[in-house]
Structures are given as C-alpha cells and as structure tokens.
Amino acid sequence: MVPLIDMETSLTHDQVLNEVGDALGVMDDIGMALMAPDGYQRAKDGQTKGYRWSSYILGLVNRYPGRFAPTANGGTNPNWLQQKGGKSKHYIDKLQKHVRTGVYAHMGELDFRHYMSNSQCKQGKTHRDSDIALNRENGHRLFKLAAETRVPFVVHLEPEDQALATLEEMLATYPDAPVIVAHFGQIRHPEKQQRFGPDLVRRLFGQYPNLYYDLAAGGPGRRYKCSNVAADTVIWDGPLDGQRDHLHAQYKALLTEFSDRFVMATDFGGGRKRLSEYLREKVALLRLIIRDLPDDARHNIGYRNAWKLLTGEAWSG
C-alpha cells in the first residue's frame, strides 16, 4: 500500500479533542501516514481584537509528532475574506509573523476564488462565495512570504479564465514560492472555466516549476447543486453524464508525465462527518485516482512530493 500525506485539510479544536483519537487506527488501516491540517481561529474571548491566532494544531503535533505536520491557521476566516491587513491584529500580518518563526512547515489553505459548496448552496450560505484576486496586496504578501521562507501554501482558486491568468502572473513574479492549487479538475461553472484542460496544465507545469495541484477531487458523476453541470470533475473517463471509475486518457497521461507536481488531499474540515468515517471514504477515492498509474508515479503523488514540500528535501527511503 502506497503511504499517503494529506496536504489540504483542516481540523477544528473540537475535532482535535473529540475525533482524532479514534481516527488514528483508521489512518493506519488506510495508509494515511501524515496529515498537515490547518487550524481555525480561537473562540471569542471578549478581549482580543482582530484575528485570534490559535496554536492547538501545534499541540496536536507535539502529542503525535509522527502523524501530523505543523501547519498554520488557514485563510477561510472573515478577516482574510475581507482582505484586512496592515496592522498586527489582522490575519495576514499574524500569518507572516508566525511563519517567519520557522515553526510551521505548511501555511494551510487560503481562499481566493471559492464557490459555495453543495451544502452551502442548499442552505443559502454565501459567506464562502469569495472572489479575491491573487494579485491584490494580501496576495502579494502571501506569495512573497512563501518565496522568502519556502513554506508552501494551498490556494482555493476555481479555475476561471481570469483567475488562471492572474495565477500565471503571480507564479512568474514569485518563482520561489511553492504554490499548491486545490481541487484539480474541479469544473463547476464551465462557462467561466473554458481555458482549463490538459494542454493548459501541461504548459503551466512546463513554465512554472513552483506550481503543484492537489487531488481533492470529486468522484465519477459527482453533481454540483449550484449549477446544471452533469458532473463537476473532468478527470474521469466518459461523458459527464456517464463517467466511469477510471481516469480519462489525457489526464492519466498528465498525472504520469508530471507525477512530481501533484499531492494528495482529503479536504476535511469543520461541519464534515466524523473524521474516521470521512477518511475511509476519501482515501478510497484518492486511491482510485492513482490506481492505474505507474508505480513510481503513485509513490510520487502519494507522499514523495508532499515530503519535499514540507521538508525541503527529497524522500530518501
């Protein structure tokens, strides 16, 4: 069984206290060797103004150092979504401060262009329907921080045509910033996402060696409730309304040729089903994605690439 490293996931404080313990055995069973979960801000205390940085993920790492990687607070909070900054109380300023201490191996996931999830769409919750350009001031601060420290981060960036153009601009401006784009092949509004495809991704990989994608993707035939698309993940073989459980030939070729540019991710977070149950289901899907790839590619995507991003050193095992 190829070991896996999860490079895009989140844990609430309650999940750390109440769900991690009984998930450890499941992690062993499914081959989840290491997770890099970002954290959420601390609860309101009536005193702290601005973003309330939390350190419970570091406590989790100290308790289980071989299972979790030190990861910062993620950028899904209102302070980040409102693009506040320039004062020590704001999220981006605190992220810079904490990452520069050298404590964190990963910054976590930050929202830029983010559509509502299925559950958010159903409930009419629009707070995560964000549209932040990568090249705004805080985006430059984030990319510069990664370039200076070599600490990777994940961007949630729906591959709209303009967003992809801005991604290229930032990758070229900060060639030393290790950037992971979340949810490879997720196309939920194809009318806005006409540029994305194997040819474009191949060109991006060729021009920008600092670009990676994570494979927190949907399974064959997954529907997106906020649009009329028949299936929201394009990597699977077959028409959208009849996808099969193996990769489309062009995407299989892409993952094989550029197996050094993809990482695993489960996309866990607050509001999900229990961690142990979620991991079993998600890892089964991740293994389906890499099932038919060459052995070396499966090992690269499973853990080697993530290890290099987290440590700066190639896997030597």
Question: How many domains does the chain divide into?
Answer: 1
pLDDT in tens, the chain (317 residues): 999 999 999 999 999 999 999 999 999 999 999 999 999 999 999 999 999 999 999 999 999 999 999 999 999 999 999 999 999 999 999 999 999 999 999 999 999 999 988 778 778 777 778 999 999 999 999 999 999 999 999 999 999 999 999 999 999 999 999 999 999 999 999 999 999 999 999 999 999 999 999 999 999 999 998 888 888 999 999 999 999 999 999 999 999 999 999 999 999 999 999 999 999 999 999 999 999 999 999 999 999 999 999 999 999 87
Read off the CATH number of the domain in which 258 is found: 3.20.20.140
Domain residue limits at 281:
4-311
pTM (two decimals): 0.97
Decide if 158 is inside a domain.
yes
Secondary structure class of 143 (helix, strand, coil):
helix
Decide if 246 is inside a domain.
yes
The two structure tokens encoding residue 190: 């194809």
The one-letter amino acid code at 88 reads: S
User: What crossing angle do the helices spanning 137-149 and 91-99 adopt, rounded to 10°?
Assistant: 10
- Tokens 């370039």 correspond to 147
Q: Determine phi and psi for 130, rounding to 5 degrees.
A: -105, 150
With a CB cutoff of 8 Å and minimum separation 6, the contacts of 150 are 176, 178, 312
Element (H, E) at 211: strand 211-214
Decide if 44 is inside a domain.
yes
Decide if 316 is inside a domain.
no
Residues 260-276 as b/e (b if ≥16 CB within 10 A, e otherwise) read ebbbbbbbbbeebeebb
- Tokens 């092949």 correspond to 185
